Amino acid sequence: MKTDTIVRRSMKIMILHLLLAILAVAMVLPFTWMVLASLKRLEEIGLESWLPTVFQWQNYAEVFNMKGILFGRWYWNSIFVASWVTFLQVFTSSMAAFSFSRLQWKGRDAVFLLYLSTMMLPGLVMMIPNYQNMISLGLVDSYAGLIIPAAFSAFGTFLMRQFMMSIPKSLDEAATIDGASKWQLYWTMILPLARPALVTLTIFTFLGNYNSMFWPLVMMNTPERYTLPIGMLAFDSSQGQQTNLLMAAVTMSVVPMILVFVFMQKHLVKGIMLGGVKG
């Protein structure tokens, strides 16, 4: 009986691994096609063979030299804006979460629920009011207009609050007895303990804003200030549809996202696991 149980369990594990392998291959295939297409001549795009006749490595350099394509500038704009949004959103979310989870003040829970209810509003509904505010502040077609509205997040506050609530309150009492201020408690004790949640929020925020298209499309009018998602549209209008160069540009554009995930995936998994157990 024990042998049969072990055999059945081994078969289930093998089938599960096989299904996961098939799923992994299915997810990798589009990325593989994109990379290989970026190394082809334009005439080879659409042929049955995935492999290029001759690897055209110069396609990547040509992307930076195309007339009307400011790829290097757009690349920098996307990283600059996403980095600032990530820093500000993580900072403001952690401070708000500290207030909602560690401090006692009248109406705290009611204010938190009201703030959390903003997550139910679709982003497209908030776009028009935000755009009107940016017009009033004179921030249209500026980096600040992209960064400031995204610097605050109800989801980020909720994520950080749930994690901070799992930290024992006895640490606050011990720090207060030792003479620590609220800022010292937040900066030197709670934030280091909340690192997994901070890393998780950092990854989600950076990837989400790096790929953002609708808000930059509404806000930006000057080509020099475009981000990558908007700039990619120029590949189909400036010199005709050059799919091989477009794939080269897309391949380079995903490099920051891959690097962020690769270097922070351990913290991401740990943050999700701890949030699921303690939250």
**pTM for the whole structure:** 0.84
DSSP three-state, residue 118: helix
Q: What is the pLDDT of residue 91?
A: 96
Type of residue numbered 179: G
Nearest to 91 by CA among 172, 187, 213: 187
Q: Any idea of the CA torsion for 19, 23, 29, 30, to the nearest 10 degrees?
A: 160
- CA pair distance 39, 63, nearest whole angstrom: 12
The tens place of each residue's pLDDT in the chain, 279 residues long, gives: 567 777 788 888 899 999 999 998 998 898 899 999 999 988 888 777 888 888 999 999 998 888 878 999 999 999 999 999 999 999 999 999 999 999 989 999 999 999 999 888 887 788 888 899 999 999 999 999 999 999 999 999 999 999 899 888 888 888 888 888 899 999 988 999 898 889 889 988 998 899 888 899 999 999 999 999 898 887 766 556 778 888 999 999 998 888 887 877 776 666 555 554 444
What are the phi and psi torsion angles at 169 (to 5°)? -70, -15
- CA pair distance 194, 171, nearest whole angstrom: 13
Q: What is the C-alpha radius of gyration for the chain, rounded to an integer number of angstroms? A: 24
Q: What is the pLDDT of residue 227?
A: 93
